C-alpha cells in the first residue's frame, strides 16, 4: 500500500470513527434532549436577535455623525466617509453579522454537539486552528499585505478604471443600470457565478493548483473554512473582479454580491448534511456537494461541483451527483495546519512560482509524474 493510500485509509477510518463517536454522542443526548434543547435554541435565537438589534442601534446612532465630506487620515492616506462605510459593509458586516448568523444557523440545524461554533470555541483541532489563524491574519491586514507583495501589487488592480476608460473613449458604458435594482443584483450574481465557475476550473489546473490547494488543505469543515484562501491567489482579481467592473457592476452592488457570495461560501463549508433539494441541483451549491468537491481522493475520482450556481456544472459537464457529510476531505500534500500555516503559504507560493518558471522556460509544469 502506498503512502498516499495509507493516508487516505487513515483519514477514512478516522472520519468513520469520528462519525460513530458523534452518532453515539447524539444518542446519549437524545433522551433528555427535547425540552432542554428547544429552550436553549430559543435562548440562542433571542441572544442573536438581541445582538443584531444592538449592532443596528449602534449603527443608527453612529451613521448621522459620519458626514459625507468627513475625511480621516490613516497612515498618511486620506480616507473619506464613503470609504469608511464601504469598509464597514465590506469587512465589518460579514464579520459581525453574517459570520455569527451562519454559525448560529449551522448550530441550529446540526445541533450543538456537532456545531462548528462549539468546535471553534472548545474543541479546536489543527485544521480549525489554521482557519482561525487565517481570519486573524486577514483582519490584521497581514494576509492582504502579503498578497500584494507576492503578486507585485496585482491583487489590488482595479477594473473600474478600465470600465471608465472604455466609457470615456468610446462613449459606451456597459451595465445593467436600466433594470430594476433586484434584477440588477440577480443579473450580476448570475454573471459573477459564471466567471467564478471558470476561475475555479482554472484554479484546479496543474499550474494554479498549489495556490488553490491551500484552500483544499482543510480536513474539517467548520464554516470559517471558507476564508482559508491563499493570499497570492490572484486569479479572481482578473477573472472575476475585473470583468465584473468592466461590465459596469457598481461598487455598492459588488459589495452586496460579495456579501451574498460570502454567505453562500460560509454555508457550503458547514456541517449541514443537506443537498438543498431542487435549489442545490440548479440554483445554489449545497454543503454536501461542496464536500464532494473537497473529496480526499480527488485524483481517483476527479472533482466536480465547481460552481456556486450548480447550473454551470450541469451545462459544462462537471456535475458529479450526490454526496453526504461522511466523505473524507483534504489533499495528499502534508500541511502544517495550526499556527504554522505561514510555512504552508510560503511553500505553496514557491511551488506555484516553480511551476510558472517551468512553463515559461518550455519545460513540463510538473518535473515528474505525480505519485500514484
Ligand atoms: Zn476547488
Ligand atoms: Zn471549499
* Each residue's pLDDT tens digit, 206-237: 999 999 999 999 999 999 999 999 998 888 88
145/151 Cα distance (integer angstroms)? 10
For residue 167, tell me if it sits in a domain: yes
Cα(125) to ligand 2 centroid in Å equals 18
Q: Regarding predicted confidence, which is higher, 361 or 21?
A: 361
Q: What angle do CA 234, 86, 196 make, to 5 degrees?
A: 35
Q: How far apart are CA 306 and CA 170, in angstroms?
A: 36
Residues 52 and 141 in one domain: no
Between the CA of 207 and the centroid of ligand 2 the distance, in Å, is: 19
Output the CA 202–ligand 1 centroid distance in Å.
9
DSSP state of 51: H
Q: With respect to residue 43, please indicate whether it lies within any of the assigned structural domains.
A: yes
Burial of 332 per CB tally in 10 Å (0-12, 13-18, 19+): middle
C-alpha cell at 192: 459573477
pLDDT score at 159: 65
Residues 223 and 349 in one domain: yes
| In a domain? residue 365 | no
The ligand with the least distance to the CA atom of 222 is 2
Could you tell me if 267 and 155 lie in one domain? yes
Same domain, 56 and 132: no
Please tell me the predicted confidence (pLDDT) of residue 78. 58
pLDDT reading at 1 higher than 50: no
What is the Å distance from ligand 1's center to 172 Cα? 36
Same domain, 27 and 133: no
Mean pLDDT for 49-53 is 79
Is position 76 within any domain? Answer: no
Contact 94, 262 (CB under 8 A): yes
In the 8-state DSSP scheme, what is residue 329?
Answer: B
Rounded distance, CA 218 to CA 265, Å?
A: 14
Residues 53 and 131 grouped into a single domain: no
Of 16, 43, 64, which closes a domain? 64
User: pTM (2 decimals)?
Assistant: 0.77
Q: Tell me how far the alpha carbon of residue 72 lies from the centroid of ligand 1, in angstroms.
A: 40
Number of domains in the chain: 2
- Residue 295 pairs in a beta bridge with 329
CA–CA separation, 53 and 59 (whole Å): 10
Neighbours of 290 (CB within 10 A): 24
**What nine digits make up the cell of 308?**
456556486
Domain that holds residue 150: 125-360
The dihedral formed by the CA atoms of 38, 273, 290 and 261, expressed in degrees to the nearest 10: -20
Closest ligand (CA of 287):
2
pLDDT for 154 equals 62
Residues 6+ apart with CB under 8 A from 141: none
CA of 325 to the centre of ligand 1 (A): 17
Q: How far apart are CA 164 and CA 159, in angstroms?
A: 9
More confident residue, 315 or 168: 315
Ligand nearest to the CA of 228: 2
pLDDT of 105 strictly over 70: yes
In a domain, 103, yes or no: no
CA of 320 to the centre of ligand 2 (A): 16
Find the 175 Cα to ligand 2 centroid distance in Å. Answer: 30
Tell me, yes or no, whether 169 and 314 share the same domain. Answer: yes
pLDDT at 10: 36
Ligand 1 centre and the CA of 298: distance in Å? 10
Q: Which ligand is nearest to the CA of 227?
A: 2
Residue 125 · residue 116 · CB < 8 Å: no
Under 8 Å between Cβ of 196 and 308: yes
Q: How far is the CA of 197 from the centre of ligand 1 (A)?
A: 10
**Mean pLDDT on 310-334:** 91
Q: Is there a domain that residue 73 lies in?
A: no
Task: Identify the nearest ligand to the CA of 291 by its number.
Answer: 2
138 lies in the same domain as 57: no
Cell (9 digits) for 53: 438589534
Average pLDDT for the chain: 80
What is the distance between the alpha carbons of residues 302 and 191, in angstroms, rounded to a whole number?
Answer: 26
Residue 77 inside a domain? The answer is no
Q: In angstroms, rounded to a whole number, what is the distance separating the alpha carbons of residues 357 and 267?
A: 37
More confident residue, 366 or 299: 366
Tell whether 160 is covered by a domain: yes
Amino acid at each position: 500500500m502506498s503512502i498516499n493510500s495509507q493516508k487516505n485509509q487513515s483519514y477514512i477510518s478516522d472520519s468513520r470513527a469520528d462519525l460513530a463517536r458523534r452518532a453515539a454522542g447524539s444518542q446519549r443526548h437524545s433522551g433528555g434532549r427535547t425540552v432542554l434543547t428547544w429552550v436553549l435554541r430559543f435562548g440562542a435565537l433571542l441572544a442573536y436577535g438581541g445582538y443584531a438589534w444592538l449592532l443596528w442601534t449602534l449603527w443608527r446612532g453612529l451613521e448621522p455623525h459620519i458626514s459625507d465630506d468627513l475625511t480621516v487620515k490613516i497612515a498618511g492616506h486620506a480616507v473619506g466617509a464613503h470609504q469608511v462605510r464601504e469598509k464597514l459593509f465590506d469587512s465589518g458586516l460579514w464579520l459581525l453579522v453574517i459570520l455569527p448568523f451562519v454559525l448560529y444557523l449551522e448550530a441550529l440545524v446540526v445541533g450543538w454537539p456537532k456545531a462548528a461554533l462549539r468546535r471553534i470555541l472548545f474543541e479546536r483541532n489543527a485544521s480549525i486552528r489554521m482557519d482561525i489563524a487565517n481570519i486573524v491574519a486577514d483582519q490584521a491586514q497581514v494576509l492582504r499585505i502579503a498578497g500584494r507583495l507576492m503578486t507585485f501589487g496585482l491583487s489590488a488592480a482595479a477594473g473600474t478604471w478600465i470600465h471608465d476608460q472604455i466609457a470615456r473613449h468610446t462613449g459606451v458604458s456597459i451595465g445593467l443600470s436600466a433594470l430594476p435594482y433586484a434584477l440588477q443584483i440577480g443579473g450580476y450574481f448570475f454573471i459573477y457565478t459564471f466567471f467564478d465557475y471558470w476561475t475555479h476550473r482554472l484554479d484546479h489546473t496543474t499550474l494554479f493548483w498549489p495556490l488553490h490547494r491551500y484552500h483544499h488543505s482543510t480536513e474539517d469543515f467548520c464554516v470559517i473554512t471558507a476564508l482559508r484562501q491563499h493570499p497570492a491567489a490572484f486569479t479572481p482579481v482578473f477573472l472575476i473582479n475585473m470583468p465584473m467592473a468592466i461590465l459596469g457592476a457598481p461598487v455598492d452592488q459588488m459589495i452586496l454580491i460579495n456579501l451574498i457570495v460570502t454567505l453562500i461560501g460560509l454555508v457550503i463549508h458547514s456541517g449541514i448534511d443537506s443537498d438543498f433539494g431542487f435549489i442545490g441541483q440548479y440554483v445554489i451549491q449545497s454543503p454536501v456537494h461542496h464536500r464532494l468537491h473537497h473529496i480526499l481522493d480527488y485524483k481517483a475520482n476527479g472533482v466536480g461541483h465547481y460552481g456556486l450556481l450548480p447550473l454551470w456544472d450541469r451545462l459544462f459537464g462537471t456535475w458529479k451527483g450526490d454526496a453526504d457529510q461522511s466523505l473524507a476531505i483534504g489533499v495528499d500534500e502534508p500541511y502544517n495546519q495550526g499556527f504554522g500555516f505561514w510555512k504552508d503559504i510560503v511553500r505553496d507560493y514557491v511551488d506555484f512560482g516553480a511551476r510558472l518558471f517551468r512553463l515559461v522556460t518550455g519545460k513540463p509544469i510538473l518535473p515528474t509524474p505525480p505519485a500514484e
